[in-house]
Amino acid sequence: MRPLAQLDIGRRQITLEVVSLPIRTEPVADHLGGLDPETLIHAFRIMHLSRRLDDREITLKRQNRIFFQISGAGHEAVQVAAALALRPGQDWIYPYYRDRALCLALGVTPLEMLLQAVGAAADPASGGRQMPSHWGSPKLNIVTSSSPTGTQFAQAAGCAEAGRYLNKDSGAITLVTSGEGATSEGEFWEALNIACLERLPLVFLVEDNGYAISVPVEVQTAGGNVSQLVSGFPGLFRQEVDGLDFLASHRAMSAAARYCREGNGPALVHAHVIRLLSHSLSDDERLYKTAAERAFEAERDPVLTFPRWLANQGLLDRQRLQLVTHEVEEEVQQATEQALRAAPPARESALVNLYSPKQASASTQPQFEGPPATMVDAINRTLAEEMRRDSMIVVFGEDVADSSREENLCEVKGKGGVFKATAGLQREFGSERCFNTPIAEASIVGRAIGMATRGLKPVPEIQFLDYIWPAMMQIRNELATFRWRSNGGFSCPVVIRVPIGGYLNGGAIYHSQSGEVEFTHIPGLRVVMPSNALDACGLLRTALRSDDPVLFLEHKKLYREPYNRSPHPGKDYLIPFGKARVVKTGANLTVVTYGAIVQKSLQAALQVEKRNPHASIEVIDLRSLSPYDWEAIRASVAKTSRAIVAHEDTISWGYGAEIAARISSELFDMLDAPVRRVGALDTWVGYHPQLEGAILPQVEDLAREMDSLLAY
């Protein structure tokens, strides 16, 4: 019987048989999975390094020197195996918070990880803005990650799609990882559908440790096995593997990567792993895991079983093991000391990289040509002009293409959007640049985020603002945070076009709502809303040339109005964000408004002035809601000393409340009367025209408030 030797590795003890065989140096054998001994030893080193970094962060958290910790313990084997199947710097990775070993294997350093743990300004992933284990590295194509579960799936689909658009022969793939709990999110299924529809080079790695915090997999997933649930997806290559077995994991991941690189479509690897610690240090797994279950998991720890296997194969002796573990200990200690000396982010850096420092050119003078065109025609023409100018622009959404069945285009006129805003774009630019999507708003926006990450300029359309809400997580927690949370490492210049508003009659609850204030409240997102064809052209062009995400709101009622038409102002006409337009000058009252209320305010002002010849009313069209033109408001109120803020949305907690509050706060000494607001009743828009008319603000409502304020 061979003698036994025990080594302490951190807080764990490895028992190795002391063998007299030399380290293997012969050619790689099949039983090693085609990997040479040094690669296998390096894989163990990364696994052990990952665990020791977890251990060190736990110690630092208990010393109150960092503020959060979440562990990847038990996931290391499949993660390192996944990294070996990838091409760092060529493939793209969407990791999740347990992927410490994966990121280490791809090239993220222990120091970089610990800089994030302490929240240092020098943290290359976020500059101290994100919690630990929120990975990101532009140089390694590790896309900035976030806390929401499942949002990464649709983004990864967009990333894979963009990679194929940019270079279909590159062989590059995208890897997206997740725990099994996040596969309950709708975006997992939406992304699988897209990936299979488009045969994308996308690998899904599900690291199934059996628990979503405290919820066991049999409660989370029907049948307790996600790879069985996805078996019906056509073209999806599936591998279910013991994620604690490094060689089996490497075989599965290599096969999945090869399947995708060869252009066959997407792959899913379902790896069964263990979670050796609680969900995070804010959780206590002893409250829901039995002692026997925890002991059984500890016996299967890959950081202990893998070096035993290496020793049994004659690949790792006691001396080499000691050397590896000593090197790791030294590396972790040095990184810890350096990270703890690092400076925190400066207080004045809080707004840095919220928006891009690169802005579209300043306003240009229009060079009018042709007859007056409607607002929807101006939008269509501007899209076409910019698509000719920039091959990175892609337009997609529900019903935006002329016909998904291209063979029909010779016989049919084509759809081109429910309001015809995208008519003809597919015919001119092809189905790669203008295409229809499934009815899945979250994945429409998520897909756009992934495309933008790769350098495309996606212009997704959400058919009605009333249906944007499934995409709210992608917009608020992903799109708008991308630049800030990565401290400028990544940008996301998506332009989301959205028809909005009522006054068309018959739209009722689900085709007439406003709701712009929910989006102006989001830092990092530009929000604009033109009221006429000229402004639509200039603002849309600015949005398409901007380096920031933009929500471009198009009022449905204004698409084809006769009064707001304009000749084409030229293919370089731009209107900068944050610049209002005084549509009517006046001296006694300021009306601040936008959208469909601009024309109603003009009509009301004329009525009031006709009754009161001594009064003149100034009307300001904000055009840009975030940012908005405070200087224009200030200058007007300083002149008139009275102000009304009017909008179509419900009056309570509406966009006008912020403007009114700021006028009252900062311009109080200029006012001769209280600031008034005009808006819709605090209810939903009704179907019958009489009911809709009573709910939405009308000309007479505006005129009544103008009369009242002038008489104050």
Show which residues are catalytic.
511
Task: Identify the H or E element spanning 52.
Answer: helix 37-62
- For residue 418, count CB atoms less than 10 angstroms from its CB and return exposed for 0-12, middle for 13-18, buried for 19 or more: middle
Phi, psi of 581 (to 5 degrees): -125, 130
Distance from C-alpha of 95 to C-alpha of 622, rounded to nearest angstrom: 41
The number of residues in the chain equals 712
Where does 103-183 show beta strands of DSSP type E? 174-179
Residues 6+ apart with CB under 8 A from 661: none
Instruction: Give the SS3 label for residue 353.
Output: coil
Task: Identify the H or E element spanning 528.
Answer: strand 526-528
Distance (Å) of CA 361 to CA 269, 547, 575: 47, 12, 9
Distance from C-alpha of 151 to C-alpha of 149, rounded to nearest angstrom: 6
Residues 6+ apart with CB under 8 A from 606: none
User: How many helical (H) and strand (E) elements, i.e. helices and strands, does the chain have?
Assistant: 24, 23
Distance (Å) of CA 54 to CA 51, 63, 115, 289, 440: 5, 14, 14, 21, 38
Task: Copy the structure tokens of residue 7.
Answer: 């080594």
Please give the radius of gyration of the chain, using alpha carbons only, rounded to the nearest integer: 30
Task: Copy the structure tokens of residue 436.
Answer: 């229809």
Characterize the bridge pairing of strands 643-650 and 589-593: parallel
- For residue 18, count CB atoms less than 10 angstroms from its CB and return exposed for 0-12, middle for 13-18, buried for 19 or more: exposed
Contact 583, 556 (CB under 8 A): no
Distance (Å) of CA 339 to CA 9, 45, 133, 328: 23, 21, 15, 16
Residues 6+ apart with CB under 8 A from 189: none
Contact 149, 95 (CB under 8 A): no
Q: In this structure, how many other beta carbons lie within 10 angstroms of the beta carbon of residue 203? A: 30
